[in-house]
């Protein structure tokens, strides 16, 4: 019962079931897994559950081991090494809001008014392209 309470903690994004299924699916054929007690298998699943930041991250960590069943330390180190590419990066707008910066509605309205309609913007862009190429009649394809 205690294991289910610890493993279903909402602060961990990977569920207990996913961690256990990845453990069995990817590591059951590795050397050392079959001789491991069920409590040891549960420990590996618990560590995978706690150190990964997403389901894709957990799958990547599980797939890295291909010969020997990993130790808890190896799981932690691999998750830390692969974690940068799977972490949630906030949108720039969220970062601006956190810093207290806001969009200026007057500036936005002036900018949109100067840009005009999308057709006008497209026409101006092609005029710029033809001017750069020094061809007076440049056609779009």
Are 109 and 81 part of one and the same domain? Answer: no
Are 122 and 68 part of one and the same domain? Answer: no
Q: Is residue 140 situated within a structural domain?
A: no
pTM: 0.56
pLDDT, one tens digit per residue, over 31-47 is 888 888 888 889 999 99
Are 40 and 108 part of one and the same domain? Answer: no
Q: Is residue 81 situated within a structural domain?
A: yes
Q: Domain span at residue 27?
A: 2-85
What pLDDT does residue 3 have? 43
Q: Is residue 63 situated within a structural domain?
A: yes
Q: Is residue 79 situated within a structural domain?
A: yes
What pLDDT does residue 5 have? 41
pLDDT, one tens digit per residue, over 52-109 is 988 888 999 999 998 889 999 999 999 999 888 877 776 676 777 777 777 677 777 7
88-101 core/surface letters (b: 16 or more CB in 10 A; e: else): eeeeeeeeeeeeee
What pLDDT does residue 60 have? 92
Q: How many domains, the chain?
A: 2
């Amino acid at each position: 019962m205690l294991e289910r309470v610890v493993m279903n903690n909402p602060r961990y994004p990977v569920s207990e079931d996913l961690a256990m299924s990845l453990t069995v699916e990817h590591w059951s054929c590795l050397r050392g897994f079959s001789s491991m007690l069920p409590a040891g298998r549960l420990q590996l699943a618990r560590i995978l559950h706690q150190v990964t930041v997403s389901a894709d991250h957990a799958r990547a960590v599980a797939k890295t081991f291909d010969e020997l069943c990993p130790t808890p330390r190896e799981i932690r180190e691999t998750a830390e090494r692969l974690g940068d590419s799977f972490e949630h990066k906030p949108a720039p707008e969220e970062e601006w809001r956190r810093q207290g910066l806001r969009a200026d509605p007057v500036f936005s309205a002036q900018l949109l008014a100067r840009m005009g309609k999308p057709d006008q913007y497209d026409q101006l862009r092609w005029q710029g392209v033809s001017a750069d190429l020094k061809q007076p009649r440049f056609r779009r394809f």
